[in-house]
Amino acid sequence: MSESKLAALAALPGMSSRRLGQLLDERAPADAWALVSEGKAPAVPQDHRSRWATCLAGVDLDQVAARLAALSCRVTSWHDDDHPPALRNDIDPAPVLFRQGELPDVATPTVGIVGTRRCSGPGQEIAFELGASLSEAGVSVVSGLALGVDGAAHRGAVAAGGVRPVAVVGSGIDVVYPVRHRELWAQVASVGCVCTEAPVGAEPEPWRFPARNRLIAAMSDLVVVVESRAAGGSLLTVDEAVRRGIDVMAVPGSVKNGAADGTNQLLVDGCAPVRSADDVLMALGLATIDSAIRRSGGRPAPSGDAGVVFAAIDDGPTSVDEIVHYSGLELSAVYLALERLMSSGHVVADGVRVRRS
């Protein structure tokens, strides 16, 4: 019952995390429920107290419980042991958290990957690669499941199938936003965790996103900004991270790329640059040169024609004509080698070109 009571309390009109915090301050959900039902909610105006009492009187707790069960949604408060410690001990803590799926182990290092929704193609690729490499290297990727950088980072983490990724969203757990990420949302929830402070049914209202960003910052050991515009929302996450003394790193972008103005400014301001996942792993103290070699050495190196072709694909996406030119092989031999390299996972198609995976 305590979960449904928490859910009902969080869904009260005009409820904020500050008010919820005061209500649950050294008070169990059942006590808080009783207090509000009697019209004695602390630190809120009088008209709220009576309105909330009326609201709670109309709540069918069984129905709330059934709804939560149908969504496979867990609700925890900061009194609970499985509430993320990072959110309990935060300077601006989250008193209640709704979540689908399993959070990673408490000891797992976490990296927030954030950035603009309107990112460039390379930005999207970098976010994907960072998400995949970090996840593979044992880091949980925390992001916001938004379009652009956030989604690409999550996709990478899901594709790599490494450590559980965490998505912190701004809407209710049953309101998929953006709708285009419905599939990704479900994937993250199945291999990791989708969580939110917003009550069930909450629409993605604009004010919820800055609050969401603070949770991303709070849950991360390190925040990486992949691409951000000069006044982008991801810079709010950066501010939240700075308030908490969490390191921020930024991916350098072209000075002509408007989507990288914000990240380049971060570099000017003294953030460490990210060239690859290794830079992030070094900053976390997880990587040495050895581990970087170990990760790429999982597969046997290609040999024969395949090796020649693989060597010709060393510098980003490469066209077949370029491979023929650099390898000196016949076109048909290149095709055969490429097909084998694709089967073994060394090379992937990048649109109409190929590149190392």
Residues that bind other proteins (CB under 8 A): 118-125, 127-128, 147-148, 151-152, 155-156, 180, 256-257, 259, 316-317, 319-322, 324-325, 331-333, 335-336, 338-340, 342-343, 349-353
Of residues 268 and 352, the one with the C-beta less far from other proteins: 352
Of residues 257 and 265, the one with the C-beta less far from other proteins: 257
Output the smallest distance, CB 89 to other proteins, in A: 35
Of residues 176 and 215, the one with the C-beta less far from other proteins: 176
Q: Which bin fits 173, alpha (ψ -120 to 50), beta or left (φ > 0)? A: alpha
Cα torsion 231, 233, 236, 237 to 10°: value is: -130
DSSP state at residue 245: T
Of residues 17 and 143, the one with the C-beta less far from other proteins: 143
Cβ pair 23, 35 in contact under 8 A: yes
User: Where is 278: in which H helix or E strand?
Assistant: helix 277-283
Of residues 102 and 350, the one with the C-beta less far from other proteins: 350
Q: Cα–Cα distance between 347 and 307 in angstroms, integer?
A: 11
Of residues 79 and 353, the one with the C-beta less far from other proteins: 353
Output the smallest distance, CB 355 to other proteins, in A: 10
Q: Which bin fits 74, alpha (ψ -120 to 50), beta or left (φ > 0)? A: beta
List the Cα angle 34/39/41 in 5-degree steps: 75
List residues bridging with 97 in a β-sheet: 76
Output the smallest distance, CB 156 to other proteins, in A: 7
Of residues 64 and 354, the one with the C-beta less far from other proteins: 354
User: Where is 7: in which H helix or E strand?
Assistant: helix 2-10
Of residues 243 and 356, the one with the C-beta less far from other proteins: 356
- Single-letter amino acid, residue 65: A
Output the smallest distance, CB 153 to other proteins, in A: 10
Output the smallest distance, CB 320 to other proteins, in A: 5
Contacts with 14 (C-beta within 8 Å, 6 or more apart), sequence order: 44, 48, 51
Q: Cα–Cα distance between 92 and 80 in angstroms, integer?
A: 17
Long-range contacts of 207-212 (CB under 8 A, 24+ apart): 208/170, 208/171, 209/144, 209/170, 209/233, 210/236, 211/17, 211/170, 212/144, 212/168, 212/169, 212/170
Contacts with 104 (C-beta within 8 Å, 6 or more apart), sequence order: 110, 140, 163, 164, 166, 192, 193
The Cβ of residue 242 has, within 10 Å, a number of other Cβ atoms equal to 15
Of residues 184 and 217, the one with the C-beta less far from other proteins: 184
Output the smallest distance, CB 239 to other proteins, in A: 25
3-state SS, residue 350: strand
In SS3 terms, 63-117 reads as HHHHHHHHCCEEEEECCCCCCCHHHHCCCCCCCEEEEEECCCCCCCCEEEEECCC
Of residues 244 and 340, the one with the C-beta less far from other proteins: 340
Output the smallest distance, CB 185 to other proteins, in A: 13
